[in-house]
Amino acid sequence: MRPQRSLSCAHAVCCWQHGNWRTIVAKNTERAVLAGGCFWGMQDLFRKLPGVLKTRVGYTGGDVPNATYRNHGTHAEGIEIIFDRDVIGYRTILEFFFQIHDPTTPNRQGNDLGMSYRSAIYYADDTQERIANDTIADVDASGLWPGKVVTEVEPVGDFWEAEPEHQDYLERYPHGYTCHYPRPDWVLTKRRETA
């Protein structure tokens, strides 16, 4: 298994859409790597967003090479998202991320406890880092969550793909466990800049 680090490229994806298999080619793609609790729920919600071309779950942000579910050391359960920048932007990906998980609980989402369930954004370049920090500042200023955001912002490292049984888990088991939910009234506005 090899870690993946690519950022932007032309990308072809086969997907099931309206009862037919379709190949979608996007020339302006970007990669986002996020951690926000159990990866099953994250993947289930992100894969449905318009402009998201491909998702896969895995282990990232930690110290163990060739990480697995049984041996992932300090890695977080994460999701890799390949998206079409002509349809959805990185900022919108992050706003959705903050809507579907609680970024104010360290090392916890719902009933899941431990480092592997931490909230983290793994940025690929200076632009992603700036957008991540700006979005966090907006979330903190918004009052939409009861506490301050504890989401880590770190450079992306190795992403170790999770075992096949974890990929698209809630697509195969629609009533399976999740602690991620869209909050329909959750709308993030940009904070006012102070002089």
Q: pLDDT tens for residues 72-108?
A: 999 999 999 999 999 999 999 999 999 999 999 999 9
Of 6-15, 19-28, 171-180, give the lowest mean pLDDT range. Answer: 6-15
Residue 115 located in a structural domain: yes
Using alpha carbons, select from 88, 90, 85, 95 the residue that is nearest to residue 33: 90
Residue 185 located in a structural domain: no
pLDDT value for 24? 63
Residue 45 located in a structural domain: yes
Residue 123 located in a structural domain: yes
For residue 123, is pLDDT > 60?
Answer: yes
For this structure, is 9 an active site residue? no
- CA-CA distance, 7 to 137, in Å (whole number)? 24
SS3 33: strand
* Cβ neighbours for 135, distance < 8 A, ≥ 6 positions apart: 91, 94, 95, 98, 188
Q: Could you give the C-alpha distances from 127 to 101, 133, 147, in angstroms and in order?
A: 23, 10, 26
Catalytic residue among 9, 15, 38, 179: 38
Domain count, the chain: 1
pLDDT value for 21? 55
Q: Residue 16's domain is classified under what CATH number?
A: 3.30.1060.10
- CA-CA distance, 147 to 103, in Å (whole number)? 9
Q: Please give the full DSSP string across 40-98, using - where no structure is assigned.
A: HHHHHHHTTSTTEEEEEEEEESSS-TT--SS--TTPEEEEEEEEETTT--HHHHHHHHH
For residue 5, is pLDDT > 50?
Answer: no
Residue 2 located in a structural domain: no
Residue 106 located in a structural domain: yes
Average pLDDT score over residue span 47-65? 96
Residue 3 located in a structural domain: no
Domain that includes residue 45, residue range? 11-172
Residue 141 located in a structural domain: yes
For residue 32, is pLDDT > 80?
Answer: yes
Six-digit token string for 148: 């301050």
Six-digit token string for 69: 């579910």
pLDDT value for 184? 83
pLDDT value for 42? 98
Reported pTM = 0.87
